[in-house]
Amino acid sequence: MDTFSLLGDGFAQALTPLNLLLLLVGAVLGTAVGVLPGLGSAMAVALLLPVTFGLDPTGAFIMFAGVYYGGLFGDSTAGILLNTPGNSSAIAGSIEGHRMALAGRAPQALATAAIGAFTGGLIATTLMVFFAPRLVDWAALFGPAEYFALAVFAFAATATIVADSPVKGCVSLAIGLSLALVGVDPTSGATRFTLEQTQLFDGIAIVVITVGLLALGEVLHVAARGREGAVTAPAVVGRPWLSRADLRLAWPAWLRGTGFGVPFGVIPVGGSEMPTFLAYSAERRLDRRRARPRFGRGAIQGVAGPEAAGSATAGSAMGALLALGLPTSATAAIMLAGFQQYGMQPGPLLFERNADLVWTLLASLFLGIVVLLVLNLPFAPLWAKLLLIPRHHLYAGITVCCGLGVYATGASTFDLVLVLAIGLLGLLMRRHGLPLAPVLIGVILGPLAETELRRALAVSEGDVTALFDSGITRALYGLLLAGLVLAVVTRLRARARERAVDEPVG
């Protein structure tokens, strides 16, 4: 009952006209910034941090809650409509979401994303309020070997499941890992793949790679096809409400995605990229068992699962930040800076010293999820009308936004050259049928895998068997091996069926 009473006091503080207005303004601003290519939810919190300087701490963090969830939905909106996700956590949901938009189902894709964000965020926040200690104990079981096993699992799942050809998937993964190695080796201090350019010593920013590969690569691909690429804008079909058939496909994916996302918010693996791609891979694997697979043609499950996973990760990451002082994503790290600007340090003592503020913030997270759904669900058709803009105007605007977004993050003209080069790489990959998702997962998780592998080997003094010592690592590698065997058997059976169909009947 103590938790319920504290949470009730938090709602009493948050449900004032001024605080509700701040929450609404934060959600609108977060969504608006998140929609812009090259920016995203983390940048939204960073850009709007100075706006809160004149507010009291309670009002400031309530506004942050709105920006936090609004930015996440803005990331997904840009990815679904324009194939330019504002943050790497929205990449997985954008794969099928953009295909839905091109098929004229943009409102339904946006509605799926909004409801998925609501479902994942609501469940994750509820678990954080009532069951945070157990999740923290579970996260404490992970060491360097377990983190490395998780990264390998994500690499293999993405390369073999997302791609139609495992060979092409592995080639794309190798490209992503190569891009992740650019910069100074954090252990030895040696430079790697920098071409003696000092601007590359810090590596290539994920924003540059994401914008170049997805956004600019798509623009160049359309421009290279000339008149062939000048396809008329798809008609926007239907209202943002999902049909019964859509709901039957989406609601299990929302729950499965939430199951992927909640634990990863507590584990410091860098954000929601891994759970969103794992959720996408799981939905694609399940879809292949259907008589008529939907993936590749705009599968609603491919949006529902990753969006719920991303929102669930964001919700549990906020709980980890408050309870442990541990930022498990870039956005949470910026939120930590917001706490410190008011002289507060998140962690166990925060609940004792600033209990009123903490429970008000937790209550505002619940309210922020509701505001996100109420605000964006009716406006899904309005966002979808971006697709009705003439294609040459739309892609010209995307190119300008890409340049502005990349320059705003680092104020470097060298980044503009890099984004153009990576855009050309994206064009070549599209021309040769190489999938983009393995590149991005390699760039995002490559540094994590390298760091944790080195830590595990350093602790074990070079003993490779330490990577397989724990039950968690053996379980992960066992699942990976079983999945690979299942994938090989499935492909062999499919080829046998194709040969049986092609053989003439005697």
pLDDT average, residue stretch 108-136? 80
User: Is there a domain that residue 109 lies in?
Assistant: yes
pLDDT average, residue stretch 328-337? 64
User: Is there a domain that residue 501 lies in?
Assistant: no
Which comes out higher in pLDDT, residue 499 or 374?
A: 374
Q: What is the pTM of this model?
A: 0.65
Per-residue pLDDT tens over the stretch 11-28? 888 888 888 888 888 888
Distance CA 306, CA 309 (A): 5
User: Is there a domain that residue 434 lies in?
Assistant: yes
Question: Could you tell me if 300 and 106 are in contact, meaning their C-beta atoms sit under 8 angstroms apart?
Answer: no
Domain hosting 96: range is: 2-469
Distance CA 35, CA 44 (A): 10
Q: For residue 232, is pLDDT > 60?
A: no
Half-sphere exposure of 112 (CA within 13 A, CB side): 39
DSSP one-letter string for 344-388: ---STTHHHHSHHHHHHHHHHHHHHHHHHHHHHSTTHHHHHGGGG
pLDDT value for 502: 61
Coil, helix or strand at residue 183: strand
pLDDT value for 330: 58
- The tokens describing 260, both together, are 């992927």
Number of domains forming the structure of the chain: 1
Per-residue pLDDT tens over the stretch 32-89? 766 765 555 665 666 566 666 667 778 887 887 788 778 777 778 878 877 777 666 7
Q: Which one-letter amino acid corresponds to residue 430? A: R
Confidence of residue 425 (pLDDT cuts 50, 70, 90): very high
> Which of 125-129, 283-287, 492-496 is least confident?
492-496
User: Is there a domain that residue 224 lies in?
Assistant: yes
Half-sphere exposure of 104 (CA within 13 A, CB side): 8
pLDDT value for 473: 86
User: Is there a domain that residue 505 lies in?
Assistant: no
Of 63, 101, 103, 64, give the one whose Cα is nearest residue 81. 101
- The tokens describing 89, both together, are 């956590």
User: Is there a domain that residue 245 lies in?
Assistant: yes
pLDDT average, residue stretch 452-461? 85
User: Is there a domain that residue 421 lies in?
Assistant: yes
Q: Which residues contact 504 (CB under 8 A, 6 or more apart)?
A: none
- pLDDT, mean over the chain: 77
The CA distances from residue 168 to 151, 429, 437, in Å, are 19, 10, 11
pLDDT value for 1: 47
Q: What are phi and psi of 184, to 5 degrees?
A: -95, 130
Of 324, 329, 297, give the one whose Cα is nearest residue 313. 329
Distance CA 36, CA 305 (A): 23
Residue with tokens 């609603």: 300
Q: Which residues contact 70 (CB under 8 A, 6 or more apart)?
A: 26, 27, 28, 29, 30, 31, 32, 34, 44, 368, 372, 375
User: Is there a domain that residue 503 lies in?
Assistant: no
